[in-house]
A and B are shown apart, each in its own frame.
Chain A
């Protein structure tokens, strides 16, 4: 079996062991396995290709430089997705401070609480920038995902685009399982409403 085939057949944990032993091919294999899903998640979170590329690079640099601190009892995918999600959420929060949040508190548990904590200034119609982004990302569903609050967006992308289990999403996002389920249900509800006109 060739070296490349051996690496492709190895588990994430085995690749990490080789990376810790200083083998560059192991680092490249980890990048090869996760560059696409990580970039896709970050891109859909921040909706800007260049920024997504930067944040994805930061994610990998941070993870690979700290490979010694990775604990093999956890999934490598959960670990790297957690770093990527934190990078995206941190960026969105910083950007949010510069503008004003139109969304309710992420801690609001009921629709009334969300509405009560939301700032009602201006409508949430699609701006010209949204339209350009939508064209780039392709399709109304991308626009609808982009309108979700970041916490909902992470959950729905990890669940239905990445196919992660609820428990793993809870681990990645550091949220209780019940909260993850609530966020996903709410996100699906909002997406259904946003896309309702397409089914009529």
Chain B
């Protein structure tokens, strides 16, 4: 604001005066320059008129119309599914690729069903063998895990701890309480904060 007294006010100077960041006293030129005084007065008058313009509002059903066209996200939905669907139908090329994949899958499934119908005995024999082998392997694994568990040094203490039904009930109750407390804490965390964050507003 230390500008020569004889220099007329620039648009930036006018802005500073309009916003009130400085008062007219900071510009000695204004005292003796009638054109600058007139310009400043005209600008003030114009800005006052602009600021007094009313804000027209839309129709009362505006929000309902907008909301009928807004897809509210479901936080429990699988997001990738929606994204994949959007990408799939984005272009003709992607739609053609998707149609090709769908055709290949459909043909493969049809071929699989036809082959199955013609080879039922083979499939039944293979199924029985795979079932028997799986059950045998499962038992073997389970016995190994149990044997390993029993051989642990802390097994005796653990067995003693769970030997008393009252103690088992107390432990179960404790676990249930911790679970309920966790749920309540989560609910509290997801609730809307009562106070806003400073300067986050528009």
Interface residues of A (CB under 8 A from B): 1, 6-7, 9-14, 18-22, 24, 27-28, 31-32, 35-37, 39-40, 43, 49, 52-53, 56-57, 60-61, 64-65, 67-68, 75-78, 138, 141-142, 156, 160-161, 163, 181, 185, 188, 191-192, 195-196, 199
Is there an interface contact between A65 and B71, defined as CB atoms closer than 8 Å?
Answer: yes
Is there an interface contact between A40 and B192, defined as CB atoms closer than 8 Å?
Answer: no
Contact with A along B37-58 (1 / 0, CB 8 A): 0000011011101110111111
Tally of A-B residue pairs with Cβ under 8 A? 120
**Distance in Å: Cβ of A78 to nearest Cβ of chain B:** 7
Chain A positions within 8 Å of B59 at CB level: 53
Q: Is B133 an interface residue (CB 8 A)?
A: no
**Which residue of A19, A40, A53 contacts B55 across the interface (Cβ within 8 Å)?**
A40
**Which residue of B11, B53, B56, B57 contacts A141 across the interface (Cβ within 8 Å)?**
B53
Is there an interface contact between A31 and B69, defined as CB atoms closer than 8 Å?
Answer: no
Most buried by B among A10, A181, A196: A10
Chain A positions within 8 Å of B196 at CB level: 9-11, 14
Chain A positions within 8 Å of B62 at CB level: 31, 35, 39, 53, 56-57
A-B pairs with lowest CB-CB distance, top 4: A77-B202, A11-B200, A160-B50, A185-B11
Is there an interface contact between B56 and A40, defined as CB atoms closer than 8 Å?
Answer: yes
Chain B positions within 8 Å of A6 at CB level: 192, 194
- Report the Cα distance A20→B190, complex, angstroms: 12
Q: 23 pairs across A/B with beta carbons < 8 Å? A: A6-B192, A10-B196, A11-B197, A12-B202, A14-B192, A22-B72, A27-B70, A28-B63, A28-B67, A31-B66, A31-B67, A35-B62, A36-B57, A39-B56, A39-B57, A53-B62, A65-B70, A65-B71, A138-B54, A141-B53, A181-B11, A191-B46, A196-B42
Chain B positions within 8 Å of A160 at CB level: 47, 50-51
Q: Is B122 an interface residue (CB 8 A)?
A: no
Q: How large is the interface on B (under 10, 10 to 19, 20 to 34, 35 or more residues)?
A: 35 or more
**Which residue of A13, A64, A199 contacts B42 across the interface (Cβ within 8 Å)?**
A199
Is there an interface contact between B202 and A60, defined as CB atoms closer than 8 Å?
Answer: no
Which residue of B has the minimal Cβ distance to A56? B58
Chain A positions within 8 Å of B190 at CB level: 21
- Report the Cα distance A20→B193, complex, angstroms: 16
Chain B positions within 8 Å of A7 at CB level: 192
**Which residue of A18, A37, A60, A75 contacts B192 across the interface (Cβ within 8 Å)?**
A18
- Report the Cα distance A7→B196, complex, angstroms: 10
**Distance in Å: Cβ of B192 to nearest Cβ of chain A:** 5
Chain B positions within 8 Å of A68 at CB level: 73
- Report the Cα distance A35→B197, complex, angstroms: 23
**Which residue of B12, B57, B69 contacts A35 across the interface (Cβ within 8 Å)?**
B57
Q: Is B121 an interface residue (CB 8 A)?
A: no
Is there an interface contact between B197 and A156, defined as CB atoms closer than 8 Å?
Answer: no
**Which residue of A56, A60, A188 contacts B43 across the interface (Cβ within 8 Å)?**
A188
- Report the Cα distance A28→B75, complex, angstroms: 18
